Amino acid sequence: MSLAANPRQFVIRIIFISMAAIMLLRLFFLQVVEDKYKVMANDIAIFRKVVYPPRGAILDRKGKPMLYNERVYDLLVTPATVNKSLDTNSLCDVLGITQEAFTKMLTRTRIKSGPMRKGVFIEEMSAQQTARFQENMYNFPGFEMAERFRRTYPNASAALMLGYIGEVSPEMLKKEQYASYQQGDYTGMNGLERSYEDVLRGQRGVHFLERDNFNRPREPYKGGALDTPEIAGKNLELYLDADLQALGEKLMQNKLGSVVAIDPKTGGILAMVSAPNYDPNLLRGTERTKNYSKLYRDATKPLLNRATQAYYQPGSTMKPMTALMALDVGVINPSFGYPCGGGYYACGKRIGCTHSGGGHAANLRVALANSCNAYFVHIFRLIADAKKYGGVKKGVQVWHKYCNDFGFGKPTGVDIPFEMSGKAPDTNTYNKMYNGSWNSCTMLFVGMGQGEIALTPIQLANAMCIIANKGYYYTPHFVKSIGNNPKDPLLLPYLKKHVVTHIPDTFFDVVAKGMQDVVERGTGTVARMDGIEICAKTGTVENKAVVNGQAMKMKDHSVFVAFAPRVNPKIAIAVVVENAGFGATWAGPVASLMIEKYLLDSVSGKRRHLEQKLYNANLVNRYTYAIDSAQRLRDALRRERKEEEKRIADSTARARDSIRAIRFFNKHYIKNNK
Amino acid sequence: MSAQGKSLFSRLDTTTLVLYLSLVCIGLLAVFSVEYRSTDAGIFLMHKNYMRQLVWLGISLFVGLLIVFTDSKFFSSFAYLSYTIGVLLLVVTIFAGVDVKGSHSWLGYGNVRFQPGEVCKIFTSLALSKFLSSPETNFQTLRHRIMGAAFALVPAILIILQSETGLALVYFCFFLVMYREGLPNIILIIGFSLVALTLATLLVDRLALFVIITTLAALAGYMIRRDLKRNPSARILLVGAWLICILFSQVMVPVLFKYVLQKHQIERIYSTLGQDVPDSYLKAGQKKDEKKKGNVSDYNVKQSKIAIGSGGFFGKGFLNGTSTKNEFVPEQHTDFIFCSIGEQFGFFGSAILIALYLSLMLRILYLAERQRSSFSRIYGYCVASILFFHFAINISMTIGIAPVIGITLPFLSYGGSSLLSFSILMFILLRLDSDRQVMIR
C-alpha cells in the first residue's frame, strides 16, 4: 500500500466536507431564509400574561374605607402531582368537604385545566378553610393557595352610589369606549365604580413569560424587557360621611324614599340614601347573578336609585322657590300679604289651605312659615300673568326659565350614572296638554309644587344649596379628590361655580328667614334644635299611582327640605318618604337628625325618641306589593298577547305563502303538462 | 526521530487537543443552558446534568492521562482481546441488560450504568486496525474483505438485538475505513446512491425527482460523452442506472406504498423523517387530521426544527432560548443538544460548531495519513469515521434531513458513556500519533 498519493483519502475528505456543506445549506435555509419558525417558537413558548393592578379604594371624608380590595384565597391544585400518598381524609377534614366531593372536584379541575397545570380547586375559601389549610399546608403536596383580591364594602352601605363591578359583556366590547378591554375583564357597572372606572382601574400590565411544554408559565421572557408594568388604580376620596350615610340608611329602613345631603359650599354630597337599600356585598363573586335578579324582582325596587332616578312632585317644598321668583319678577315685595281664609277660590275651584286663621299669610315670611297654599298659588299666578310679559304663555316661559335656573328639568350632572332629568313644564307642555287653550288657572298647582312638575331628590337638595348660597351652586358630586389630587382633570367640572340667578341677596335673606320660621314656629317645628338656626320647608305631596289602568290617589309623600345653619350654611338636605303622610311627621325628623349628626357629630339624648320612632316605623305600604304584582301580571298578559298575535300573523303569512305556491304550481306546471 | 527526544506531553498534537477541549466545553455550556433556570439556587448543583457531565469530563481526562502514559504498543497487542471482551459484554447485555427508554442496551447496577455498545466502538476500531494492518491480511481477497466486514457487523447485529438500532448503524462507518484500505469504489458509490435515492424518493416530489434524476443522468452522459461514443457497455450502464433510478422512485416505491405496506408502516416511515404522509399514500377512509396527529419522533423533529429555525442569524443569545429552556424539545440534553446551539447562537454559532467538527475530523485524517505504521493510520480513520457518522446523522436528524436515530453528538451530548468513549478514542489516537515514527504491529 502506497502511503503517498492514495486518492481515496481525498475522496473521504470530500465526503466530510460536502456533508458539512449540505448541513450549512440546510441550516441557512432553516435559520436565515425561513421566518415561520420564529413565529412558531414565540407562539409555543411565550405566554402573554395580563397583570391586573389593584383597583383603587373609595374612602369617605374622614378616610374611612367604603370600598376596598379584600384578600381572598383560592385553593389551587396540580392534579398530576396529587399522588397516592396524599392523606385525603385529613385534607377533606381540613376543608370540611366529603370524600366524594373531593374526588368530584379533583376530576373537574383535571378536566378543566389539564393534569399538569394548576387549576382552581376551591374558589374563595372561607376564612376557616383558609386558616386551617394554611396550618397544614405542608401535608398536602400539589395543593397551594393563591391570593386574589375581591371588592369589599366594609360598611355594607351606599350600594347604589358606590356601584359594583361586573364582567364586560360582548355587546359592551363592541363599543369604542371599551376598546382597551378584553373578554373576562371587569368594569364598573354602576355608581362611582362606573363613573370613575378609568382612574379606579389603573393600568394593566402585560408581562411576557416563557412557558414550557406543559404550558406552565416560567420565568420572564428576555428578563422582562418587553413587559409593561401595571399601575395601581387611584383611590377616590369622597365628601361622603360614612357615619352620616349609615345614620341616614338606618333612619330610612323599612321606608321607601330618599335622603340627599349636600355641602352647599362645595357641592360635595355628604350622604345619599335611596331606601330601601341593600348590602352591596351581595353583588359580587359567584352569587351576583342570583342576587341581582332577586333584587330586580323585588316590589320595592331596591335597584332604583331614588335619589337621582325617582320623580316626586316637590309639593310645598317648591314654595321658597316660587317666592324667590315672584320677588325677582317684582310682582310682590316681602311684605306682600294675601287674605287667605282657608282656601283659594279665584279660579272657581277651592284649593284648600291647612290654616284658616286671619293673618297666617300676612306677609311672605308668615306665609312661608304656615305654608299657605292660597298665597303661593296666588303669587304664581301673578308671575304667569305679569303684565310686563304680556300673556300667560310668555309668563310661564319665564317661570320655566327660573325653574331651569334652580336646576329643575335637567340632570344636575352628579358623578354617578343614569341620573334622570325630572320634569319642569313649559308653555309647550301645556299647549300640548290643553290643545293651546289654557290660562294661569289651568295650571296654578305648579306654584305650590303639584301638577306637572316633578323633581328628583337631588334636584331638591341642589335647590336648597342655591338658596343657602344665595344664588350659586356647585354641581353635586361625591368625589373630593382622586389619589389625593383635588384638581384631577376629572374633577374640574365640579370645581366650577354656577351662578344661576341674579336674585338680590336681600330676597334670599327674606326667604331664608321665612324658612327659619317654618322650624321656629311654623309647620316644621319638629326639626327645631337648640343653638342651630335651621331653615326648612315641609312638603306633603298628593300623589297618584296607576293601578289597573286607573289613576288612584295614594297616601301623601312626606317631603322635607332644609339647610343649616342659616348664616354660613354647612349642609343642605332633601328628604322624601314615599306614601308616609305629613312632611313634618316623617321626613322632617330624618332631615333634622341628619343635620344634627353632621353639625354636632352626634344625636343628643333629647331627640333619641325621634330616632327610635323612625327606626321602628315600617312605612312600606302593603299595596306597594299588590300594585307591583298586579303590574307584573299585566305585563305578563300583555307579553303573552303580543306573542299570540305574532303567532297568528306568522301562521297567516305561512298560509298565504302556501296558497301562492299552489297557484304558481298550477299556473306553470299543470298548464304545461296539458 | 528527533521527536523522540521531546517529552511525552509536547509530542501530543496540540491542534487536536485544543479542538477536542473546545468541543467538550461547548458541550458543557450547551447542557448548562438547557438546564439552568434563573430561579435556581446556584450554579453548582450536583443533581443537575451539567455538573454530572463536568464530573464525567474529569473522569475522561483522567483516563486520557492514563492512556498517554500507556505504551503505544499496548493498544495493538490488546486489540483482539479487548474486542473479544467487548463482544462478550454485548452478548451479556442481551440477557442482563437494563431497559432504558425502550432500549435494552445498558448494563449496570443502580444508578451506575453504561452502554457496552458505546465502548465497543473503541475495541472494534482497535481490532479492525489490527486486522487490516497485519501483514497476513490481504484486503484484496474476498475472504479477508468479508472478515473485515464481520469485525464491524458482529457488534452491530448484537446491538440490533438489544433494539438500539441507531447505535448499530454507527458500525457501518467502518466501511469508510475499509474503503480507504481498498474496498472497491463501486461499493461506496452504490451504497451512497441507494441511501440518497431512498431518502430522495420519500422526501422529494415525484415529478421533481424525475427531472433531477434525468438531469443528473444527462450531465453524467455529457461528462463521459467520449466513453459513451467508444464504449457501448458504458452506454448500457448509464441508461441502465437511469432506468433503475426512475423505476425505483417512480414505480416501485409508489406501488409498495399504495398496495403493499400497511397504514401504520407508512406512517412510521414518514414520521421518522419528520414528514407528513402525502395525500396520495393515505389509505381509503383515513382522515386528514388523523394523520396530522403524528407520533413522538414527528413531534421531536418539529420542535427541534422550530428551536433551531427560530435562532435566526445570530441566535437569541446565551440562556435566552425559549424552546430549549422550556423543554419543548424532548431529549434536548442528549440527542437533540444541537437545538440549544442552533437556537441560542443562530446560524453563526451553528456554522462555527460545524466548522470545529470538520476541522477536527480533517485534522484526524491528516494525523492518520502521517502515521508510519498502518495500524495507527487505520485507527485514525476509524476515529474520524465514527465521529463523522455521529456528527452527520445527529445534526441531520435535528434539522430534518435524516431519520431520527438515537445517536449522540460527540463531546456535546450529555452522557457519561458517550463522552468517555469518545475521549478514549481521541486519547488513544493522540498517544499513537505521539509515537508516529514507531512501527506498531
- Kindly report, residue by residue over B179-208, the tens digit of the pLDDT: 888 888 887 788 878 777 877 787 777 788
Nearest to A519 by CA among A508, A530, A507: A530
- Is pLDDT above 90 for A90? no
Query: Does residue A635 sit in helix, strand or coil?
Result: helix
pLDDT tens by residue, A240-292: 999 999 999 999 999 999 999 999 999 999 999 998 999 999 888 778 888 99
Under a CB-based contact definition with an 8 Å cutoff, are residues B423 and B56 in contact? no
The domain that contains A110 carries what CATH number?
Answer: 3.90.1310.10
What is the C-alpha to C-alpha distance for residues B87 and B159, in angstroms, rounded to an integer? 10
Contact B180 A12 (CB under 8 A): yes
Cell numbers at residue A11, please? 475522496
Chain A residue numbers with beta carbons less than 8 Å from the beta carbon of B38 are: 219
Chain A residue numbers with beta carbons less than 8 Å from the beta carbon of B306 are: 37, 40-41, 44
A641: amino acid identity, one letter: R
Contact A221 B322 (CB under 8 A): yes
Partner B, chain A 176-235, Cβ-Cβ below 8 Å: 210-213, 218-219, 221-222
Parallel/antiparallel/unpaired status of strands A535-547 and A65-77: unpaired
pLDDT (average), residues B414-428: 91
Under a CB-based contact definition with an 8 Å cutoff, are residues A570 and A601 in contact? no
pLDDT (average), residues A455-459: 95
Query: Does residue A352 sit in helix, strand or coil?
Result: strand
Residues in chain A: 674
For A292, counting Cβ atoms within 10 Å of its Cβ (0-12 exposed, 13-18 middle, 19+ buried), the class is middle
pLDDT (average), residues A187-195: 92
- Is pLDDT above 70 for A49? yes
Cell numbers at residue A624, please? 306597594
- Is pLDDT above 60 for A200? yes
Shortest alpha-carbon distance between residue A20 and chain B (Å): 7
Under a CB-based contact definition with an 8 Å cutoff, are residues A558 and A540 in contact? yes
Which parts of A303-372 fold into alpha helices (H)? 306-309, 319-329, 364-370
Percent pLDDT > 90 in chain B is: 34
Task: Tell whether A9 is within 8 A of chain B (Cβ).
Answer: yes
Q: DSSP for A483-543? A: TTBTT-GGGGGGG-EEE-----HHHHHHHHHHHHHHHHTSTTGGG-BTTB--EEEEEEEEE
Contact B361 A16 (CB under 8 A): yes
Chain B residue numbers with beta carbons less than 8 Å from the beta carbon of A31 are: 308-309, 311-313, 342, 346-347, 350
Residue of chain A minimizing CA distance to B366: A9
What is the C-alpha to C-alpha distance for residues A40 and A30, in angstroms, rounded to an integer? 13
Closest Cβ opposite residue B306 in set A16, A20, A37: A37
CB atoms within 10 A of CB A498: 16
pLDDT (average), residues A495-503: 87
Cell numbers at residue A391, please? 300673556
Under a CB-based contact definition with an 8 Å cutoff, are residues A617 and A586 in contact? yes
Q: From the DSSP assignment, how many helices (H) and strands (E) are in chain B?
A: 19, 3
Q: DSSP for B364-379? A: HHHHHHT-SSHHHHHH
Contact B392 A19 (CB under 8 A): yes
Closest Cβ opposite residue A23 in set B179, B327, B399: B399
Q: From the DSSP assignment, how many helices (H) and strands (E) are in chain A?
A: 23, 20
pLDDT (average), residues B18-37: 91
Residues A616 and A484 in one domain: yes
Please, what is the average pLDDT of chain A? 87
Contact B347 A32 (CB under 8 A): yes
What is the C-alpha to C-alpha distance for residues A630 and A620, in angstroms, rounded to an integer? 17
Lowest-confidence pick of A165-174, B19-28, B261-270: B261-270
pLDDT tens by residue, B325-354: 777 777 788 889 999 999 999 999 999 999
Percent pLDDT > 70 in chain A is: 98
In this predicted structure, what is the pLDDT of residue B295?
A: 52
Under a CB-based contact definition with an 8 Å cutoff, are residues B337 and B26 in contact? no
Residue range of the domain that includes A631: 622-674
Residue of chain A minimizing CA distance to B40: A219
| Domain-located, residue A4 | no
- Is pLDDT above 90 for B384? yes
Nearest to A326 by CA among A514, A475, A473, A455: A514
Contact B347 A27 (CB under 8 A): yes
What is the C-alpha to C-alpha distance for residues A214 and A116, in angstroms, rounded to an integer? 6
Chain A residue numbers with beta carbons less than 8 Å from the beta carbon of B37 are: 218-219
What is the C-alpha to C-alpha distance for residues B379 and B122, in angstroms, rounded to an integer? 9
- Is pLDDT above 70 for B297? no
Residues A406 and A324 in one domain: yes
Shortest alpha-carbon distance between residue B326 and chain A (Å): 4
Shortest alpha-carbon distance between residue A24 and chain B (Å): 6
Number of structural domains found in chain A: 3
Q: At what angle do helices B337-369 and A7-28 cross, to 10 degrees?
A: 160
Q: Which residue has the higher pLDDT, B272 or A128?
A: A128
Residues A181 and A255 in one domain: no
Which of A385-394, A445-454, A619-628, B357-366 is modeled with the greatest confidence? B357-366
Chain B residue numbers with beta carbons less than 8 Å from the beta carbon of A37 are: 305-306, 308-310
User: Which stretch of DSSP H or E encloses residue B239?
Assistant: helix B232-246
In this predicted structure, what is the pLDDT of residue B286?
A: 54
Query: Does residue A544 sit in helix, strand or coil?
Result: strand
Residue of chain B minimizing CA distance to A3: B369
Q: Which residues pair with A343 in a beta bridge?
A: A352
Nearest to B29 by CA among B57, B69, B67: B57
- Is pLDDT above 70 for A487? yes
Closest Cβ opposite residue B326 in set A20, A31, A210: A210
User: Which stretch of DSSP H or E encloses residue B258?
Assistant: none
Which parts of A522-601 fold into alpha helices (H)? 587-600
CB atoms within 10 A of CB A650: 10
Closest Cβ opposite residue B326 in set A1, A26, A212: A212
Contact A45 B350 (CB under 8 A): no
Under a CB-based contact definition with an 8 Å cutoff, are residues A313 and A637 in contact? no
Partner B, chain A 44-63, Cβ-Cβ below 8 Å: 44-46
Nearest to A238 by CA among A416, A407, A70, A413: A416
Q: Give me the residue label for grid cell 324667590.
A: A324
Nearest to A320 by CA among A481, A559, A495, A145: A559
Q: Which residues pair with B348 in a beta bridge?
A: none
Query: Does residue A62 sit in helix, strand or coil?
Result: coil
Residues A252 and A156 in one domain: no
pLDDT tier for residue B269 given thresholds of 50, 70 and 90: low
| Domain-located, residue A18 | no
Contact A222 B320 (CB under 8 A): yes
pLDDT (average), residues A66-81: 85
pLDDT (average), residues B413-441: 89
pLDDT tier for residue B431 given thresholds of 50, 70 and 90: very high
pLDDT tier for residue B2 given thresholds of 50, 70 and 90: very low
Please, what is the average pLDDT of chain B? 84
Residues A223 and A252 in one domain: no
CA B361 to chain centre: 12
Q: DSSP for A434-477? A: HTT---TTTTGGGGGT-TT-BB-HHHHHHHHHHHHHTSEEE--B
| Domain-located, residue A190 | yes
Q: What is the dihedral of CA A67, A69, A71, A77, to 10 degrees?
A: 130
Q: End of a domain among A603, A620, A637? A: A620
Contact B310 A40 (CB under 8 A): yes
Q: What is the DSSP letter of A55?
A: P
Lowest-confidence pick of A341-345, A490-494, B269-273, B400-404: B269-273
What is the C-alpha to C-alpha distance for residues B385 and B170, in angstroms, rounded to an integer? 9
Which residues lie closer than 8 Å to B310 by C-beta, 6 or more apart? A37, A38, A40, A41, A42, B316, B322, B323, B343
Contact A27 B308 (CB under 8 A): yes
Contact A27 B351 (CB under 8 A): yes
Task: Tell whether A606 is within 8 A of chain B (Cβ).
Answer: no
Chain B residue numbers with beta carbons less than 8 Å from the beta carbon of A9 are: 180, 365, 369
pLDDT tier for residue B3 given thresholds of 50, 70 and 90: very low
- Is pLDDT above 60 for A655? yes
Contact B365 A36 (CB under 8 A): no
pLDDT (average), residues B16-41: 88
pLDDT tens by residue, A524-556: 888 888 888 999 999 999 888 877 778 888 889
Q: End of a domain among A192, A214, A236? A: A236
Residues A101 and A63 in one domain: yes
Chain A residue numbers with beta carbons less than 8 Å from the beta carbon of B308 are: 27, 30-31, 37
Residues A69 and A199 in one domain: yes
Sign for the CA dihedral angle at B15, B21, B23, B26 comes to: negative
Residues A214 and A314 in one domain: no
Residues A219 and A267 in one domain: no
Q: What is the DSSP letter of A138?
A: G
| Domain-located, residue A530 | yes
Which three-class secondary structure string do you get for A292-313?
Answer: HHHHHHCCCCCCCCHHHHCCEC
pLDDT tens by residue, A516-526: 999 998 888 88
Q: Which residues pair with A529 in a beta bridge?
A: A532
Contact B399 A218 (CB under 8 A): no
Q: Which among B299, B306, B354 is the top mutation candidate for probing chain A, defined by the most A β-carbons within 10 Å of its own β-carbon?
A: B306
Nearest to B17 by CA among B64, B77, B70: B64
| Domain-located, residue A44 | no
The domain that contains A489 carries what CATH number?
Answer: 3.40.710.10
pLDDT (average), residues A501-510: 89
Task: Tell whether A30 is within 8 A of chain B (Cβ).
Answer: yes
Residues A75 and A90 in one domain: yes
Cell numbers at residue A647, please? 303567532
| Domain-located, residue A65 | yes
What is the C-alpha to C-alpha distance for residues A400 and A322, in angstroms, rounded to an integer? 11
A223: amino acid identity, one letter: G
What is the C-alpha to C-alpha distance for residues B80 and A31, in angstroms, rounded to an integer? 46
pLDDT tier for residue B275 given thresholds of 50, 70 and 90: low
Cell numbers at residue A153, please? 364594602
| Domain-located, residue A7 | no
Q: Which among A9, A16, A218 is the top mutation candidate for probing chain B, defined by the most B β-carbons within 10 Å of its own β-carbon?
A: A16
pLDDT tens by residue, A124-141: 888 888 888 888 887 887
In this predicted structure, what is the pLDDT of residue B282?
A: 67
Cell numbers at residue B236, please? 448500457
pLDDT tier for residue A86 given thresholds of 50, 70 and 90: confident
For residue B254, is the peptide bond before it cis, meaning its omega torsion is within 30 degrees of 0? no
User: Which stretch of DSSP H or E encloses residue A554?
Assistant: strand A550-564
Contact A211 B326 (CB under 8 A): yes
Task: Tell whether A21 is within 8 A of chain B (Cβ).
Answer: no
pLDDT tens by residue, B157-181: 998 888 787 788 889 899 889 888 8
Residues A606 and A526 in one domain: yes
Residues A626 and A616 in one domain: no
Q: End of a domain among A202, A236, A270? A: A236
Rg (alpha carbons) of chain A, rounded to whole number: 36
- Is pLDDT above 50 for B124? yes
Contact B323 A41 (CB under 8 A): yes
| Domain-located, residue A394 | yes
Which of A196-200, A501-505, A627-631, B399-403 is modeled with the greatest confidence? A196-200
Nearest to B287 by CA among B277, B295, B297, B296: B277
Closest Cβ opposite residue A16 in set B388, B395, B401: B388
